[in-house]
Amino acid sequence: MTITEVSIPERPRAAYRVCIGDAILPAIIPELQRDWPGLRLFAVTDASLRDHGHLAALVGDHGIDSFVIDPPGEVSKTLRTVEAILTALETRRYGRDSLLIALGGGTVGDIVGFAAALFKRGVPCVQAPTTTVAQADSALGGKVGVDSGLSKNAYGAFHHPARVYMDCGTLRTLDERHFRAGLAESVKHAMIADAAFFGYLEANLNRILAREAAVLEELGARNCRIKGAVVFQDPEEAGLRRILNFGHTIGHAVESASGYRLLHGESVAIGIVGACLLGESLGLTPPGIRQRAAALFGRLGLPVAIPKGIPESVLLDAMARDKKAKGQTPRFVVLEALGRVCPAGGHYVVEVRPEMLHTVLTVLAGDGGLAIENGELSI
C-alpha cells in the first residue's frame, strides 16, 4: 500500500492520510476500528456500488450499518438525500460518536461529506473513492455539498476527511464512459501545476486506459501531490485554491444546462478548451496548449465543444451563479503556460468582457459531435 501524506497547516486537525493501493477495501474497517475504537461506523454507498459487490467487500462480516443511495448519480445529489441519511442515523440512534464512510464516486463523497458536516454539528467522514474523478479530485480537499434546482454545488461546506482510501481495483468495474470522463480531472491537474505530468498522461494513456494497476496507483499519487499541495496552502479557497476550478466555470454551466446528461468530466473537458480560448483571447495563454489539450481529450473520446441545443443564455445564467462570480460577472482561471496558472495579482481569476465570452462560447458551440434533442444526449 502506498501512503501519501496530505497536510493542511492552517487547520492541523484536518490533516489526513491518503492510502493508495489495489484490493484494499477489506482492510479499511479493521484499520478504522483500530485507529478510532470509540466511534460507531456507518457506511454509505449507492446502488451501483452495492450491485458491484464493493459494499460487501468493505463491510465484510463486521456488522457495520449501511445506507444505499438509490438512484445513483447526480439526480440524487440533493438536500432530500442528505436528509434521508441524517434521518437514518437518528433512527438508528447514532450520535456524536459516529464516523461515516463514503464509498463511491464524487456524488456519493459530496453527499456523505455534507451529511457528516451537518450531523450533530459535525462528525468524521472517511472517503473511499471508487471513480477516476473522485480519486483524482473530489475525495480530496474537504469541499462537500449538493445541488439546488438552479445550480451545481449550491449548498455545501468545508469538511475535510479524516482519511482517504483509494482502492484502484474498484476502477476496473467502472464503465468505460465514466472511467474516461473522470480522467479530465487528471488532465486539469497537469495543466495547472505540472507540465511533466501532462507529458506522462500523453505517454502512458494507453496503459491508463488498459487500467494497469501500477499506472493507476501512480496516477492517484500524482493527483494527490498536486491537489494536496494546493489545499495545504489554501484550505478554504481564499485565493490559490481557485486554480483547481480551471475549466469548471464553463464546465459546470454546460453540465447543469445538459440536465446532467453530460458527465462532469465531459463538461470539464469542454470547459478546459473554453478556458484556453479565453486565455488566448486575453493574450495570456499560448495557443499550442489548447491544441495539446484537445488532442489528449480526443484520444480519451471526450467532447471539446458545447452540445447543440444548449442556448448561450442558459450558460450565461449558470455562470452568473458560479461561486467565483463577482457582481454576477463570471471570472475565469486561465493559464500563462502549461503547468502554470496566471496569478492575476494573487486572485488567480480574471474577468472577461461579455463580448469576448460571447465569442468564445460561439466558437465552442461549433460541431462537437454530440447533441441534446428532446431531452436525450447523443454522442
| C-beta of residue 259 within 8 angstroms of C-beta of residue 375 | yes
Distance of CA 66 to the CA centre of its chain: 23
Confidence of residue 172 (pLDDT cuts 50, 70, 90): very high
Per-residue pLDDT, 236: 76
Q: Can you give the pTM of this predicted structure?
A: 0.87
> What would the CATH number be for the domain defined by 238-378?
1.20.1090.10
Confidence of residue 349 (pLDDT cuts 50, 70, 90): very high
Confidence of residue 4 (pLDDT cuts 50, 70, 90): low
* Mean local confidence (pLDDT), 30-58: 95
Q: Where are the alpha helices (DSSP H) in the chain?
A: 25-35, 47-52, 54-59, 79-91, 106-118, 132-133, 176-193, 195-209, 213-233, 248-257, 264-281, 287-300, 312-320, 354-364
Active site residues: 121, 143, 185, 227, 237, 241, 245, 248, 252, 264
Picking from 252, 338, 254, the residue whose alpha carbon sits closest to that of residue 295 is: 338
pLDDT(300) > 80: yes
In eight-state DSSP terms, residue 8 is -
Architecture of domain 2-174 in this structure: 3-Layer(aba) Sandwich (3.40)
CB neighbourhood size of 120 (10 A): 14
Instruction: Provide DSSP, 336-372.
Output: EETTEE--GGGT--EE--HHHHHHHHHHHTS--S-EE
Per-residue pLDDT, 162: 94
Per-residue pLDDT, 369: 45
Per-residue pLDDT, 377: 38
For 125, the 3-state DSSP assignment is strand
pLDDT, one tens digit per residue, over 186-202 is 999 999 999 999 999 99
Confidence of residue 12 (pLDDT cuts 50, 70, 90): very low
Distance of CA 241 to the CA centre of its chain: 14
Confidence of residue 90 (pLDDT cuts 50, 70, 90): very high
Per-residue pLDDT, 132: 96
**Stretch among 60-69, 116-125, 317-326, 341-350 having the lowest mean pLDDT:** 317-326
Map out the domains of the chain as residue ranges.
2-174, 238-378
Cell output for 232: 495545504
